[in-house]
Amino acid sequence: MTVTLAPDVPGLAEAARLLAKGELVAFPTETVYGLGGDARSDRAVARIFEAKGRPSFNPLIVHLPDLETIERLAEVGPKARDLAQAFWPGPLTLVLPLRDGSGISPLVSAGLPTVAVRVPAHPLAQSLLRAFGGPIAAPSANPSGRVSPTRADHVLEGLSGRIAAVLDGGPCAVGLESTIVMADPEPVLLRPGGLPVEALEAALGAPLAIGGDAGRPTSPGQLASHYAPNAALRLNATLPEPGEVLVGFGPVKGAMALSVSGDLVEAAARLFHVLREADRLAGPGGRIAFAPIPETGLGLAINDRLRRAAAPH
Ligand code: TXA
Ligand code: MG
C-alpha cells in the first residue's frame, strides 16, 4: 500500500519518519517528483533500484538543503562554486568528486569516484530535507525508461504498491529534470534540463562543452529510448497524419497543446503530463505527432526529451 501524504506538518513528519526507517518516499521538487531514500543506507538505495527496475550501473542524484551540507561529502571546485552560488537552490545538478568518508552508499554513485548533487528549490523538498536531516538519494519517481512524473498521481500510476508513500505537492513548476553539469576543471554539459544552457554560459562567461552520449550511458537520462510513451512519436509535425494525435505549440494547433502562446516555460512544465495524456488518447498501437519546438532556452531540453521519447523502443 502506498499512502498519499498531505503537504503539511504531519505529512512531512511522516515522510521523514519513513525515510529514517529506510523506506522510500516520493516527493515533489521544482523539476519532477523524486523517488527518495536515505543516501547513506545501502538497503534503502537498493530498494530504489528495485522499485524503479533501473539497471544498477546508473548512479543517482543526492539531494541536500544547501551548499554547506554538500561540501561535507563532495569537493566543490571553483567553477562549481560559481554555478552553485548562481543557481542553487534550483534545477541544476553538479557532478563533483566524492570525499573519503562521505558516508554515501557506494550504490548511489555506482562505484564512480564522483557524486551528482543538487539543492532543490521546492519548499516541500527543502522542508523534507531539513526534517529528515540527511542526504536523500532520488531519481525521478517513475519506472525505469518511462515518462518522468510531474504530479503525485503520475507517481502512483507507475509505482503504487512499490513505495511507502508519496508526498503530494501538486504539479511541478519546471517540469523537466535538472540540468547536469560537471563544472571543473572544464565545464561539460552532461544532460540538458530545467536550467537553460544560455543561463549557465552567461554565469561561466564561456561556452559549455557538450558531453555524454547515448552509446555511453553515464546518465540514464541519456539512454536513447528513455522517456518512452507507448505510442509511436513523430516530431516537427505541422499537420496530423490520419490517426495521429497532434500536440500543438504556438501557431500549430492540435488535439492538445504544450503551450498555445508558444511559451517554452509553460511547455516544459506541461511536457510529461501532455505526453501521458496524448498516449492515453492515442490508445494501444496509436501515434502521436509533436509540433516543432524552437532549439533555444528550455526548448533544447524539451527537444532532447522528445527525441528520446521518439527513439525506437
Ligand atoms: O531533476 C532531477 O534531476 C530529478 C529530481 C528528482 O531531482 N532527478 C533525476 O534523477 O532526474 P535521475 O536518476 O532520473 O537522473 C540522474 C542523472 C542520471 O542521468 C545519472 O546518470 C546522472 O544523474 N548521474 C548521477 N551520478 C552521476 C555521476 N557521478 N556522473 C555522471 N552522471 C551522473
Ligand atoms: Mg529519470
Question: In the chain, how many domains are there?
Answer: 2
Same domain? For 145 and 241 the reply is no
Same domain? For 26 and 99 the reply is yes
**AA letter at 29:** T
- Letter string b/e over residues 35-56, b meaning 16 or more CB atoms within 10 A of that residue's CB: bbbbbbbeebbebbbebbebee
Task: Give 143: exposed, middle or buried? Use CB within 10 Å, 0-12, 13-18, 19+.
Answer: middle
Same domain? For 84 and 129 the reply is yes
User: Would residue 226 count as lying in a domain?
Assistant: no
| Closest C-alpha to ligand 1, atom 5 | 34
Cα 72 to middle of ligand 2, angstroms: 26
User: Would residue 7 count as lying in a domain?
Assistant: yes
Atom of ligand 1 nearest to the CA of 222: 19
The last residue of one of the domains, among 152, 180, 210, is 210
Q: Which residues, 6 or more positions from 121, have their beta carbon under 8 angstroms from its beta carbon?
A: 29, 30, 89, 90, 91
Determine the pLDDT at residue 133.
98
pTM of the model: 0.90
The last residue of one of the domains, among 159, 180, 210, is 210
- Which of 25, 52, 61, 104 has most ligand 1 atoms within 8 Å of its beta carbon, as the pocket-test mutant? 61
Same domain? For 166 and 241 the reply is no
Residues lining ligand 1, CB < 6 A?
29, 31-32, 34, 58-61, 93, 95, 109, 112, 114-116, 118, 138-140, 177-178, 180, 190-191, 218-221
Each residue's pLDDT tens digit, 3-48: 999 999 999 999 999 999 999 999 999 999 999 999 999 889 989 9
Same domain? For 134 and 18 the reply is yes
Same domain? For 191 and 259 the reply is no
Same domain? For 163 and 306 the reply is no
Each residue's pLDDT tens digit, 160-175: 999 999 999 999 999 9
Task: Say if residues 62 and 82 touch (Cβ distance below 8 Å).
Answer: no
User: Would residue 215 count as lying in a domain?
Assistant: no
Same domain? For 53 and 142 the reply is yes
Same domain? For 295 and 176 the reply is no
Each residue's pLDDT tens digit, 193-238: 999 999 999 999 999 998 864 334 445 445 555 667 889 999 999 9
User: Would residue 222 count as lying in a domain?
Assistant: no
Same domain? For 204 and 236 the reply is no
Same domain? For 178 and 277 the reply is no
Each residue's pLDDT tens digit, 243-289: 999 999 999 999 999 999 999 989 999 999 999 999 999 999 999 99
Determine the pLDDT at residue 217.
41
Same domain? For 170 and 31 the reply is yes
User: Would residue 223 count as lying in a domain?
Assistant: no
Query: What is the average pLDDT value for the chain, to the nearest integer?
Result: 93
Residue 179 scores a pLDDT above 50? yes
Which domain does 11 fall in, by range?
Answer: 3-210
